[in-house]
Amino acid sequence: QVQLVESGGGSVQAGGSLRLSCQASGGTFSSYAAGWFRQAPGREREFLATIVRGGTGTFYSDSVRGRFTISRDNAKNTVWLQMNTLKPEDTAVYSCAAGRRLLLSSSRDPDYWGQGTQVTVSS
C-alpha cells in the first residue's frame, strides 16, 4: 500500500510558477509509474503528466505540454510537477497518483491517489 502526500499548492498570479511535490511512503516507489492529475469544480478529473518508473520517459497532455514538467527522484520517494506560465484556467485541485501500468494517462490507470492540493491562479 502506497501513501501519497502532495504539497506546494497555493495562490499565484497569471504568468507565475509553482512547484508541486508528492511524497510517497509505504511501498517501493520505484516500482510504480507516477502521474499528476487535476480537477476543477464541476469538471471531470484531467490527466496532466506521467513519468515511468525509472524516470526516463514522460508524457504530457496537450493543455500543459511545454509549460509543465514532471520529474522524480526514487531515492527520495518524490515526484514533482514544475508549473510555469500559469493561467487562470489552471485553477484546480492537483493530485498525484501511482500505479503499476507503464504510464498513467487516464484517471482509470492509477492504483493509488493523494488527497490533492489546491492551486489558484488569478488574472
Q: What is the pLDDT of residues 72-103, one digit of tens each?
A: 999 999 999 999 999 999 999 999 999 999 99
Quick one: pLDDT band at residue 1, thresholds 50, 70, 90? confident
DSSP tag of 32: S
Backbone angles phi, psi at 32, to 5 degrees: -120, 140
- What is the mean predicted confidence (pLDDT) over 16-23? 98
Arithmetic mean of pLDDT over the chain: 97
Alpha-carbon torsion (90, 60, 58, 23), positive or negative: positive
Where are the alpha helices (H) located in 31-119, listed in sequence order? none
Query: Which pLDDT value is given to residue 76?
Result: 97
Query: Which pLDDT value is given to residue 55?
Result: 92
Q: Which of 6, 91, 102 is nearest to 46 (CA)?
A: 91
Cell 501519497 sits on residue: 4
Query: Which pLDDT value is given to residue 27?
Result: 85
Instruction: Judge whether residue 58 has pLDDT over 90.
Output: yes
Contact by Cβ (8 Å): 25, 3: yes
Element (H, E) at 106: none
Q: Which of 49, 95, 54 is nearest to 68 (CA)?
A: 49
Query: Which pLDDT value is given to residue 96?
Result: 98
Give CA–CA dist 54/89, Å, rounded: 31
